[in-house]
Amino acid sequence: MFAYCADPDTLSGFKWLSCYLTTGKHFGFYWSFLTVLTLLAVTAPAALALGFLGARAARSRHFALRGLGKTYIAIVRGVPDIVFFMFFVIALDQGFEWIRHQWLCPNWTEAIRQGNDFRVCPSAKLPLGNSPQWIHEVYGFFLAVITFAIVFGAFAANVLFGAMTAVPKAQLETAAAYGMSRKQTFWRILVPQMWVYAVPGLSNLWMILIKATPLLFLLGVEDIVYWARELGGSKQAKFTAYPHGDWRLWYFLVLLVFYLSFTKLSEWVLSRLMVRLRRGQATVGGSA
């Protein structure tokens, strides 16, 4: 990046470090922080939306819809996250390719399942083999967002279901006595008041989501954990222009500072949000 970085063998001290920290791979490391923040920014509202739909389905008067909502919550919450992430991403990827295979290659005669292999026609692969690298990265990130949203959506659904149940029934009955329909009662009485009960649980879920972002590494996305391990490992002179020993401790200390700072900021924002939601409301516990 700097003019004096042309010959790394002649550098030492601060100049060596400045050149080392501005290599292309290090910019990949810096960019991966934005990848993690983007995942959180996209996944959190998606998971909240899925959670709201799941909670509403679990409270439905219709047996099939209620069963669907409760099954979604129970199955996803009952499976370890790492197992779900490893299985679901593969299943989702193969599901997309199978649909494309049926649409694009109707005359294909070979079996798709051949032992442990899953083979579709070349035009049905996702992404295509000749696609640019950024397409592969975006596709992997897309699968990660869907998986995170489904997993944490189930936990959010459980939190929101409990929050909806916590709203005093007397208020819902009063709304019905004033002539409000079930839809009006739900959106004007239940939903505005449930958040004061839901935010503590959602706050914990947000913290867990932040801590779960290293699972991106398992999904093939080059996140901050991937780059910390890649850059921090021992490098010899024949493999890199900037050889060094095992520096993984320092890279993971950077990740420690990042996660602790981000969670501290999140705690402050969520506490301010809780104060605002409680303004003008009285909970069952009697707090104004």
pLDDT at 241 over 50: yes
Before 168, cis peptide (omega within 30)? Answer: no
Q: What is the mean pLDDT of residues 76-88?
A: 79
Q: What is the mean pLDDT of residues 237-244?
A: 71
Number of structural domains, the chain?
Answer: 1
The reported pLDDT for the residue numbered 235 is 77
- 285: pLDDT confidence band, cut at 50, 70 and 90? very low
Q: Which residues of 224-247 are buried (b: 16+ CB within 10 A; e: fewer)?
A: bbbbbeebbeebeeeeeebebeee
Say if 88 falls within a structural domain: no
Say if 72 falls within a structural domain: yes
**Residue 101: exposed, middle, or buried by beta-carbon count in 10 A (0-12, 13-18, 19+)?**
buried
In angstroms, what CA-CA distances link 206 with 75, 228, 273? 20, 23, 14
The answer to which of 12-16, 136-140, 278-282 has the lowest mean pLDDT is 278-282
The reported pLDDT for the residue numbered 286 is 47
In angstroms, what CA-CA distances link 193 with 156, 169, 200? 16, 12, 14
Q: What is the mean pLDDT of residues 203-232?
A: 86
User: Please, which residues have CB within 8 angstroms of residue 129's CB and are 6 or more apart in sequence?
Assistant: 122
- 152: pLDDT confidence band, cut at 50, 70 and 90? very high
User: Please, which residues have CB within 8 angstroms of residue 135's CB and are 6 or more apart in sequence?
Assistant: 127, 128
- 238: pLDDT confidence band, cut at 50, 70 and 90? low
The reported pLDDT for the residue numbered 283 is 53
pLDDT at 230 over 60: yes
Nearest alpha-carbon partner for 226 in 237, 215, 235: 215
The reported pLDDT for the residue numbered 253 is 94
Say if 198 falls within a structural domain: yes
- Tally of residues, the chain: 288
Rounded distance, CA 191 to CA 65, Å? Answer: 19
Say if 205 falls within a structural domain: yes
The string of pLDDT tens digits covering residues 17-72 is 888 888 888 888 898 999 899 999 999 999 999 999 999 999 888 999 999 999 99
Query: Are the CB atoms for 164 and 55 separated by under 8 Å?
Result: yes
The answer to which of 21-25, 144-148, 177-181, 201-205 has the lowest mean pLDDT is 21-25
Say if 260 falls within a structural domain: yes
User: Please, which residues have CB within 8 angstroms of residue 212's CB and are 6 or more apart in sequence?
Assistant: 81, 148, 152
Say if 95 falls within a structural domain: no
pLDDT at 259 over 80: yes
CATH of the domain at 45: 1.10.3720.10
Say if 70 falls within a structural domain: yes
User: Please, which residues have CB within 8 angstroms of residue 69's CB and are 6 or more apart in sequence?
Assistant: 53, 54, 55, 56, 57, 58, 59, 60, 157
Say if 287 falls within a structural domain: no
270, two tokens: 């969520």
The number of CA neighbours under 13 Å toward the Cβ of 132 is 3
DSSP run (H or E) holding 33: helix 24-58
The string of pLDDT tens digits covering residues 86-124 is 787 888 888 888 888 888 888 887 888 877 778 888 888
Rounded mean pLDDT of the chain?
Answer: 85
Between residues 128 and 208, the one the model is more confident about: 208
Q: Is this prediction's pTM over 0.75?
A: yes
Rounded distance, CA 184 to CA 178, Å? Answer: 11
| 3-class secondary structure, 235 | strand
Residue range of the domain that includes 27: 3-78+148-278
pLDDT cut 90: percent of the chain above it: 29
pLDDT cut 70: percent of the chain above it: 93
The reported pLDDT for the residue numbered 280 is 63
